[in-house]
Structure 1
């Protein structure tokens, strides 16, 4: 490395003024720094001699006049050399205030101090460059890597420290536990960005530069090097330099992955990177206020803007239901980080960071509320006219119930965000539908009747109303009842098996479980009354007949009618679907309990009248066992011929 740098830049430094007033400092308060480091007037008669001694040492390390000075660094050599150099700088500053020096000597002292500041600026830059490096994502994201790398990172400066720990005597074993647990979710965790043994050197150099009026130069060197490191760290952590427009132009599928990475990286940036940068500023510029605060504020300005641009772009992007959960993830992340942001950016110079974070959090909350309202409206407006084959669970039912099931995972956040009751605004809904929401809520004995609960109940109400409209698309009344049974049962099952139960309540469950049973009963009546009517005795007996009083012709017609009716039901309902295995089995058992006893009784009373007839199998086609087996075909969603199950009686 060429420690001298460009000769033109060196001359530029030599021409700089040595007063704070002549430097374009980022804050007015820096003008008062000189007062903090004034030296008492030097009245010693040996002032000229002291100046000669200082001149020899400063010229020795003058990069403009010495090749060896350009090839080596004072603070990389013996500690005594650095101490001597700093002492000479202090001596020159004292002599400049001495009344015993001649005008020529004062001018010489000024030149010597300028040379020393050029040298110290280069030393300051070198120490920072040599010992600064960006965060290693593998180290900060992987606790196992942290554990295996803790000795290496300690020598390089990456030692992690909990901000609330006051014990500096941690054993190596305890340090490994801190590293292994990794504080990404545990609050602020500071780290040594550069080795602690070089901090005193940087602090002493900064003191001299500020005292000599080189505040701006000191801050520029520090800011340029650390900004580059922070920018590189952000990039390695996955925080890209994207404008709000850039983010909004990306497909949502891509953004979902980026949001997940951003949340993970944001915790590292706030709790580790920015907290540690602040700590580093405080260490290097300790007692030199407000240089440390200003350096950190300038460093954080662009870095936090780059970090927060992403979440702000998501917050103000076009709203749609699929975005809700990622927006809630961002909201919860930022909400969790806000107390840490308040601590890390507590200085007035960093107030813009706190303001920006708070405003984005507010926008994310507004976006979440707006999206949930859009979701409710979308259910009301969904008016597809195609009947779902087989009467199975409608896609909208699956979508809505899975959606609100995920909503329940964010119940603590949404209970805070949902501040208004649901409203009935759609022309597709009948008046008074909202009354049922209050009815369910009043019957809810296990939930706290939060506004979120009311919204979730409202979603189920408008979903059920929507499904009732879709059930009318089926020409077969039995199938429409089966469709409602399937869909309401799916809703009940989803509520029972999730946190929705606590939010919606057992009152809702009881009513809708009853609705499932009612739909099943109505289906059976619509289907099986016609079948069972074939097994009645009416019309079979003949009054005053010479024979046994049974009309064989009527009996044959009755058996033929039963066979045809059952086969038609079998043909249709084998293609119908009951996707829930338990519900399907319960429905089959219920059918068997009604059909088989009636058929056995009918067969027992009249079978003997036809057994002696020719081709009796044309009438008595099925045994009870045949029917029982045939019922097993029902609700499987596949056409099956009942004839394959015909057997002996």
Structure 2
């Protein structure tokens, strides 16, 4: 290459080219002559010029290819979440551990990166100056566009690993694959727009800035295929049905597209790139509409969920886990959600208040909608609770699920959106269910221990026997019930033990001599020990014989 031959040789080449061009211009300035020798010289100079232009075009391609540089790996350091939440009609695909997400890191480093070795830029500018001066500007533009467009294609496919999909491909894609590609798209669009294309535009301006409008036109030609393919993917995704599992992905895609609008306006600000600018804005609007539709469908899916069978053990329902863990992901998109939901009215039971302790975020559009979703969840859980045959298990179910919701709100960013008043209200709600459970379970059992002054020995012994029979029945059922939260379960054990053991101990203390030891089936220590088995979701209760006195 001329470049590798050194500056001196390059200068000689361009000087010789200038001499040939000067000679040709001198001939064109002369009157038409029929002198054969002059014609031969003119034709020979024209051939030499064509050969020189061909060589410069090849030189341009070789230098651009050999000295191209891609965005370094540190600019791609964008962390991913853990596993994604997958929606299905049974809501059984979610586990608490999968949603402990970390925020995506920002693209590191400056937005301006070096796509071409700076040492070769003066040489390429010299080639451009020579080719444009010799009316070979179109050949320069075509060669420059081809090489730089190929470099961008290679970067997309090799470094970013972003494939080009047709609309048919996207519509037929399985959710796991589509989910992966949607996640990748949000990162690739940002990297390509803010880093690669911004740097490509600077490169075009450096090399072709003296030959406007060639710089802008070349940049658009280099960029358009890649930009349109990315926009086409977004459009194809928006044609799919807006299932709830797509909400987070749509939010990410909308957020990035809206964030990049100003960058796109700057990149394609002139008339040449207006079609790309308009297409980008149209996609942002489409994604906004699909995100809102998906959000509302998510809420409707919760409200309309119906069950025909009671949830086993009264534990935390899959729907509750799904909804609360999904909501935990949404504060990251608070700006996008507040914008999208601003004009959508929703019922909210918490009136707006002012004061130093009240966070403005508590009454943002997003906050009102999140509370509305949980209200829909609570209504659904109330319906599910009615499927239980007994009152005590219904209260355990409502207590478990309400406590779970409170814990998810208290220990996450959701606290800033639900507010302390909501938390206090729901703590009182699950505590009320605890009281209702204890009353429904133990009131009738403990009533058997209420003796009268005129009770006979046989009556007292019968009361003791009936209490133990009733206790056995509670034990048999409630050891199969579930209270997953260990602290809540311990609180229930303590609260129950205080009431039951204290009443039983008092009954025995007052009537021990009348009843007789052999008629006392359980000691107070037996009762206290057995109560610890409640709510452990045991496959089968412990044999009660081991706790009976002989």
TM superposition score normalised by structure 2: 0.86
One of 296, 315, 331 as aligned partner of 1:373 = 296
State the Cα distance separating 1:488 from its structure 2 match: 0.8
Change (3 A) 1:205 1:601: closer
Determine the structure 1 residue equivalent to 2:120. Answer: 198
Aligned to 1:184, the other structure's residue is in SS state coil
CA distance in 1, matches of 2:166, 2:443: 68
1:270–1:341 contact (8 Å) kept in structure 2 = yes
State the Cα distance separating 1:183 from its structure 2 match: 8.3
CA distance in 2, matches of 1:376, 1:354: 34
Determine the structure 2 residue equivalent to 1:210. Answer: 132
1:438 aligns with 2:361: no
CA distance in 2, matches of 1:225, 1:465: 61
Aligned to 2:113, the other structure's residue is in SS state strand
CA distance in 2, matches of 1:187, 1:359: 28
Determine the structure 2 residue equivalent to 1:383. Answer: 306
Superposed CA deviations along residues 102-137 of structure 1, whole A, max 9, x for unmatched, are: 355368436523541342233222232244256557
Determine the structure 2 residue equivalent to 1:495. Answer: 409
1:630 aligns with 2:544: no
Determine the structure 1 residue equivalent to 2:474. Answer: 569
Change (3 A) 1:279 1:358: same
2:70–2:114 contact (8 Å) kept in structure 1 = no
Aligned residues: 513
Determine the structure 1 residue equivalent to 2:100. Answer: none
Determine the structure 2 residue equivalent to 1:9. Answer: none
Change (3 A) 1:103 1:289: farther
Aligned to 1:286, the other structure's residue is in SS state helix
CA distance in 2, matches of 1:255, 1:293: 34
Q: How much is the aligned-residue C-alpha RMSD, in angstroms? A: 2.6
One of 162, 184, 206 as aligned partner of 1:239 = 162
Aligned to 1:485, the other structure's residue is in SS state helix
Superposed CA deviations along residues 362-384 of structure 1, whole A, max 9, x for unmatched, are: 21121111111001111111111
1:121–1:221 contact (8 Å) kept in structure 2 = no
Change (3 A) 1:232 1:74: closer
Determine the structure 1 residue equivalent to 2:95. Answer: none
State the Cα distance separating 1:631 from its structure 2 match: 0.5
Superposed CA deviations along residues 538-571 of structure 1, whole A, max 9, x for unmatched, are: 3xx44xxxxxxx5122122111111100111111
Determine the structure 2 residue equivalent to 1:530. Answer: 444
TM superposition score normalised by structure 1: 0.74
Determine the structure 2 residue equivalent to 1:334. Answer: 257
1:219 aligns with 2:141: yes
One of 463, 474, 484 as aligned partner of 1:558 = 463
Determine the structure 2 residue equivalent to 1:641. Answer: 542
Aligned to 1:505, the other structure's residue is in SS state helix
Change (3 A) 1:320 1:642: same
State the Cα distance separating 1:338 from its structure 2 match: 2.8
1:513 aligns with 2:414: no
Determine the structure 2 residue equivalent to 1:286. Answer: 209
Determine the structure 2 residue equivalent to 1:584. Answer: 489
State the Cα distance separating 1:478 from its structure 2 match: 0.7
Structure with larger Rg: 1
Alignment gaps of 5+ in structure 2 = 78-104
Change (3 A) 1:395 1:441: farther
Determine the structure 1 residue equivalent to 2:511. Answer: 606
State the Cα distance separating 1:509 from its structure 2 match: 1.1
State the Cα distance separating 1:73 from its structure 2 match: 5.6
Alignment gaps of 5+ in structure 1 = 1-71, 144-181, 424-433, 543-549
CA distance in 1, matches of 2:42, 2:74: 49
Determine the structure 2 residue equivalent to 1:84. Answer: 15
Determine the structure 2 residue equivalent to 1:620. Answer: 520
Q: What are the residue-to-residue correspondences of 1:6-17 with 2, within 5 Å?
A: none
State the Cα distance separating 1:138 from its structure 2 match: 6.2
Q: What are the residue-to-residue correspondences of 1:349-368 with 2, within 5 Å?
A: 349-368=272-291
